[in-house]
Amino acid sequence: MAERVALITGGAKGIGRGIALDLAAQHWSVAICYRTSETEATATAEAITKLGGRALSIRCDVSDPQAAKDLVAQVEQKWGRIDALINGAGPYHRVNLFDETAAGWNEMFDGNLHPIFYLAQAVAPGMKSRKSGRIINFSMANADQMIAQPDVTAHYIAKAGILILTRTLAKLLAPHGVTINAISPGFIDSGSAPPDELAAMTKRIPAGYIGTVDDTVAAVRYLLSDEARYVNGANIQISGGWGI
């Protein structure tokens, strides 16, 4: 394929930025979507260009179904296709279930689960017509365990839902040459968690150390490669053994 195009939600910083820069080094055209991190998005777009890729930085609230649809249309109009959709946006807050508000509850589903549905619907026609495409969704390392989560309940349910949605999309799109897989990070030093919190978790990780953005990027690189053409509906845990 002479030119490859990726759309990354949450691509301005952290793991999303790491993926964007890795793709840029492979000369992908990379569109990053952000909601509030304009400064970081601008810096990431500049870094993509310096690495040899083409960059597009778009402010978009993908929890809005029409905005998500328009985002896909904008990238396709600009570059003619989307070969990889990487759903990296995943806001969360920590609050006890009985202190949660209705707005806070809905926010976790609107920010984590619903955009994957909206965006998959929007990119599927183009991928089906080309008989190729990759979608990667981000869950969390212990989401498949169905354990109690008193302080991140809605977020956890949304992440478990992502795994079901991933498998469903895989079954629907596999006949068209499209793969859909999930990546479930554990504790990753991506800048989103305080260093002291990460350090406190180290003793609970069988591997004995915190993961890096590069660990996650490597899994994405594999799932986007031709070597992973028969991997569909999988969930890859990047956790050092935590959460299994």
How many CB atoms lie under 10 A from the CB of residue 171? 12
Domains of the chain are 5-238 (3.40.50.720)
Q: How far apart are CA 176 and CA 168, in angstroms?
A: 14
Q: How far apart are CA 176 and CA 128, in angstroms?
A: 5
What are the residues facing 185 on neighbouring strands? Answer: 238
Going through 35-177 in order, the beta strands assigned E by DSSP cover 54-59, 84-87, 133-138
- Say yes or no to pLDDT of 1 above 50: no
Q: pLDDT digits over 186-244, tens only? A: 999 998 777 888 888 899 999 999 999 999 999 999 999 999 999 999 999 999 999 99
Catalytic residue of the set 156, 209, 222, 230: 156
Going through 48-87 in order, the beta strands assigned E by DSSP cover 54-59, 84-87
Q: How far apart are CA 82 and CA 58, in angstroms?
A: 15
What are the residues facing 87 on neighbouring strands? Answer: 9, 137
pLDDT at 2: 53
Q: Is 156 a catalytic residue?
A: yes
Q: pLDDT digits over 15-54, tens only? A: 999 999 999 999 999 999 999 999 999 999 999 999 999 9
Burial of residue 176 (number of CB atoms within 10 Å: 0-12, 13-18, 19+): middle
Query: Running DSSP on this structure, what letter comes out for residue 85?
Result: E
Backbone φ, ψ for residue 240 (5° rounding): 65, 20
User: Contact 219/238 with Cβ under 8 angstroms?
Assistant: yes
